Amino acid sequence: MAEKENRNEIGELKIANDVVGIIAGLAATEIPGVAGMSGGIAGGIAEMLGHRNLAKGVKVEVGEHECVVDLFVIIEYGYHIPEVAEQIQENVKRTIEVMTGLDVQEVNLHVLGVHFPQEKKTEEAPATPAPRRK
């Protein structure tokens, strides 16, 4: 596992890839228009079982003093995708740099879907009669 390491007189600091991934995922979902992150089938199954993966939809490569982030997102219908993408990239870059001190080289965004709001049913469906017993 690649980690960021800082060595000083007192000791060393190691930041795991998963930590950077969680920071990136949370920073991305703060942006209006982001419906969620896409973690694929395995991530969906884990969420159904009650295990929330905070780094879902995030791939991070951390070097000595820099990192590259790939985000896989789902955008809400009606938002301008290029604008949302730019906001995500800026927020993720800024947040990682402030919290970890890493130099973010790239924030690559992959839009994997569009989330459509559920239509609210105004009329109730007619009740079906119960089957007759003989």
pLDDT in tens, 30-59: 999 999 888 754 444 344 334 456 778 999
Phi, psi of 26 (to 5 degrees): -65, -40
pLDDT band at 117 (very low <50, low <70, confident <90, very high): confident
| pLDDT for res 31 | 96
Total Cβ atoms within 10 A of residue 120:
5
Cβ–Cβ under 8 Å, residues 96 and 24: yes
Q: Which residue has the higher pLDDT, 122 or 83?
A: 83
| pLDDT for res 48 | 38
Delineate the domains of the chain, giving CATH numbers in brackets: 3-115 (3.30.70.1350)
Lowest mean pLDDT among 3-7, 35-39, 61-65: 3-7
Say whether 82 sits in a helix, a strand or coil: helix
Tell me the whole-structure pTM to 2 decimals.
0.75
Token pair belonging to 1: 């596992």
| pLDDT for res 133 | 65
| pLDDT for res 128 | 62
* pLDDT tens digits, 70-81: 999 999 999 999
pLDDT at 1 over 70: no
The torsion angle over the Cα atoms of residues 36, 39, 43 and 44, rounded to 10 degrees, is: 50
Give the distance from CA 113 to its chain's centroid. Answer: 13
| pLDDT for res 34 | 93
Q: What share of the chain is helix, strand, coil (3-state, %, to 5)?
A: 30, 30, 35
